[in-house]
């Protein structure tokens, strides 16, 4: 008992200290305190997350997957907030909206929303692939509603995460520890995830739309082998990478029956169709009614850098984060569909981007027509430039490639290139996205 009280007081001290850190960081304009307060608290008490989670009254939603976490969790956060509209008592929803999704980011989000004498109502958290097991381990005693949303699993930063199958194996093992009331919202089009959550309380979403099948398979494809028996899978149709209507001829496993397969997407692109489906299905499971879901989605604006639109010097700019081959292919396809004439590609190789940039060779840059101007920059501007050069048919090349050593020069050039009615599309890796936003808005986010 005494020990328990002591831990509680110690945790409170850490929270106080964390709040102070947030204040200081904000006052001095260093950032919004996305990770530091949590990092300090975590060092003081490695299990501080379970202290916070116990104080969430209604429910916890965790969103995991390689691509779409930030958008999906923002969608869910908005819907949950909308479901409380009209109530005088403000609902406290903990949400790591800046995409800080490691343990320290999650804890920082809890510290930010901490009010003395007031528990949290909801937590909507996006969780990094490698951090999911640690978060799950802190949830064992939780009694409220739990939804785990699994979006997709693609090759991403092998230097940091290891192979796709390794992540799947770790997830499969760790989710066994989730409380028994947990509902799994799973992308049925991803065979690896269907295996990960096999035998659980599952609700499936997926796309039913033959007109969206890819004409030709993408190069960057994982999991085309049956996760259950190792046989090569057959697909009736593929939407992106290994996502599609799959079936195993040997063991008979097949894409499961869908609970939700269609909902008007809030943002352009295939991934946002999946993100919308995942969020709406989660909302339905949480018991939120149709109109509230609809209202929340109607007024939705994208998370920063995820299809976010900005006006810079009277010109329209859209930023689409792309950090791995599957996401990059989907993004390029989306911006081309939107009619892009100028695309700024930014490739950094810092820790959040992954130090290895080899993956750009798995991206199908070949799909970009000659008439589209490609502007390459970032820490690895020349690697990116080379990748684009090697899509050219003749050795003399074409003039649709410009390389700049600094992101600023690249963006300025892009803005100059565009005609009044056009939009400049920026496709950056993570740290390059923060840099580009800073240049465009003159303000730091993290």
**Smallest gap, in angstroms, from Cβ of residue 358 to other proteins?**
3
User: Which residue in the set 121, 218, 362, 435 belongs to the binding site for other proteins (CB under 8 A)?
Assistant: 362
Of 39-47, 110-118, 290-298, 351-359, which segment contacts other proteins by CB under 8 A? 351-359
Whole-number Å distance between alpha carbons of 186 and 281: 10
Based on the shown chain and the rule CB under 8 A, indicate whether residue 390 belongs to the binding site for other proteins.
yes
Based on the shown chain and the rule CB under 8 A, indicate whether residue 357 belongs to the binding site for other proteins.
yes
Based on the shown chain and the rule CB under 8 A, indicate whether residue 414 belongs to the binding site for other proteins.
no
Chain centroid offset of residue 371 CA: 31
Whole-number Å distance between alpha carbons of 306 and 70: 8
CA atoms within 13 A on the CB side of 307: 24
**Smallest gap, in angstroms, from Cβ of residue 348 to other proteins?**
13
User: Which residue in the set 46, 230, 252, 264 belongs to the binding site for other proteins (CB under 8 A)?
Assistant: 230
Structure tokens at 282: 């989660």
Footprint of other proteins on residues 101-140 (CB under 8 A)?
A: none
Of 50-58, 121-129, 160-168, 235-243, which segment contacts other proteins by CB under 8 A? 160-168
Of 56-64, 77-85, 155-163, 425-433, which segment contacts other proteins by CB under 8 A? 155-163
Based on the shown chain and the rule CB under 8 A, indicate whether residue 301 belongs to the binding site for other proteins.
no
Of 51-59, 97-105, 261-269, 386-394, which segment contacts other proteins by CB under 8 A? 386-394
Whole-number Å distance between alpha carbons of 381 and 368: 18
**Smallest gap, in angstroms, from Cβ of residue 412 to other proteins?**
21
Whole-number Å distance between alpha carbons of 190 and 235: 11
**Smallest gap, in angstroms, from Cβ of residue 328 to other proteins?**
12
**Smallest gap, in angstroms, from Cβ of residue 380 to other proteins?**
8
Based on the shown chain and the rule CB under 8 A, indicate whether residue 406 belongs to the binding site for other proteins.
no
Q: Tokens 């004439």 belong to which residue?
A: 341
Structure tokens at 223: 């999991």
Based on the shown chain and the rule CB under 8 A, indicate whether residue 316 belongs to the binding site for other proteins.
no
**Smallest gap, in angstroms, from Cβ of residue 159 to other proteins?**
5
Based on the shown chain and the rule CB under 8 A, indicate whether residue 409 belongs to the binding site for other proteins.
no
Count residues contacting other proteins (CB under 8 A)?
30
Whole-number Å distance between alpha carbons of 227 and 311: 46
Based on the shown chain and the rule CB under 8 A, indicate whether residue 185 belongs to the binding site for other proteins.
no
Q: What distance, in Å, lies between the first and last C-alpha atoms of the chain?
A: 39
**Alpha-carbon distances, residue 207 vs 261, 265, 357 (angstroms):** 5, 12, 31
Based on the shown chain and the rule CB under 8 A, indicate whether residue 320 belongs to the binding site for other proteins.
no
Nearest to 34 by CA among 96, 86, 85: 96
Dihedral of CA atoms 25, 29, 31, 33 in degrees, nearest 10, equals 20
Based on the shown chain and the rule CB under 8 A, indicate whether residue 14 belongs to the binding site for other proteins.
no
Footprint of other proteins on residues 366-385 (CB under 8 A)?
A: 382-383, 385
**Smallest gap, in angstroms, from Cβ of residue 331 to other proteins?**
18
Based on the shown chain and the rule CB under 8 A, indicate whether residue 328 belongs to the binding site for other proteins.
no
**Smallest gap, in angstroms, from Cβ of residue 40 to other proteins?**
27
Based on the shown chain and the rule CB under 8 A, indicate whether residue 161 belongs to the binding site for other proteins.
no
Interacting residues with other proteins (CB under 8 A) = 155, 158-159, 163-165, 219, 221, 224, 230, 355-362, 382-383, 385-387, 389-390, 392-395, 403
């Amino acid at each position: 008992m005494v020990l328990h009280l002591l831990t509680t007081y110690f945790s409170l001290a850490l929270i106080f200290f964390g709040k102070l850190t947030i204040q200081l960081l904000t006052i001095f304009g260093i950032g919004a305190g996305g990770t530091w307060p949590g990092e300090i608290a975590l060092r003081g008490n490695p299990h501080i997350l379970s202290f916070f989670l116990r104080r969430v009254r209604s429910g916890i939603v965790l969103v995991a997957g390689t691509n779409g976490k930030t958008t999906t969790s923002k969608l869910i956060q908005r819907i949950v907030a909308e479901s409380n509209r009209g109530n005088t008592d403000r609902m406290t929803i903990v949400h790591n909206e800046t995409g800080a999704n490691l343990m320290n980011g999650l804890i920082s989000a809890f510290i930010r929303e901490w009010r003395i004498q007031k528990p949290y109502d909801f937590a909507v958290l996006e969780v990094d692939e490698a951090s999911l097991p640690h978060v799950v381990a802190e949830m064992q005693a939780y009694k409220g509603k739990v939804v785990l949303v699994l979006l997709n699993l693609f090759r991403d930063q092998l230097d940091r995460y290891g192979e796709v199958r390794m992540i799947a194996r770790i997830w499969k093992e760790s989710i066994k520890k989730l409380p028994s009331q947990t509902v799994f919202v799973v992308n049925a089009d991803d065979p690896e995830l269907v295996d990960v959550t096999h035998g659980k309380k599952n609700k499936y979403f997926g796309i039913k739309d033959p007109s969206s099948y890819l004409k030709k398979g993408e190069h960057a494809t994982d999991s085309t082998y049956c996760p259950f028996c190792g046989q090569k899978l057959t697909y009736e149709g593929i939407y992106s990478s290994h996502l599609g209507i799959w079936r195993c001829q040997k063991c008979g496993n097949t894409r499961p029956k869908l609970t939700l397969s269609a909902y008007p997407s809030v943002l352009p692109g295939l991934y946002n169709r999946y993100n919308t489906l995942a969020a709406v299905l989660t909302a339905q499971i949480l018991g939120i009614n149709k109109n509230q879901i609809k209202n929340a989605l109607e007024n939705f604006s994208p998370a920063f850098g995820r299809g976010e639109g900005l006006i810079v010097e009277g010109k329209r700019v859209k930023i689409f984060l792309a950090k791995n081959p599957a996401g990059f292919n989907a993004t390029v396809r989306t911006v081309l569909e939107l009619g892009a004439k100028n695309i700024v590609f930014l490739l950094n190789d810092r820790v959040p981007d992954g130090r290895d940039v080899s993956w750009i060779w798995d991206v199908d840059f070949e799909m970009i027509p000659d008439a589209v101007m490609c502007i390459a920059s970032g820490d690895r501007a020349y690697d990116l430039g080379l990748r684009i050069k090697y899509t050219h048919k003749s050795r003399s090349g074409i003039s649709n490639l410009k390389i700049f050593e600094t992101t600023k020069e690249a963006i300025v050039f892009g803005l100059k290139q565009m005609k009044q009615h056009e939009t400049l599309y920026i496709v950056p890796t993570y740290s390059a996205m923060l840099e580009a936003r800073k240049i465009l808005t003159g303000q730091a986010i993290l």
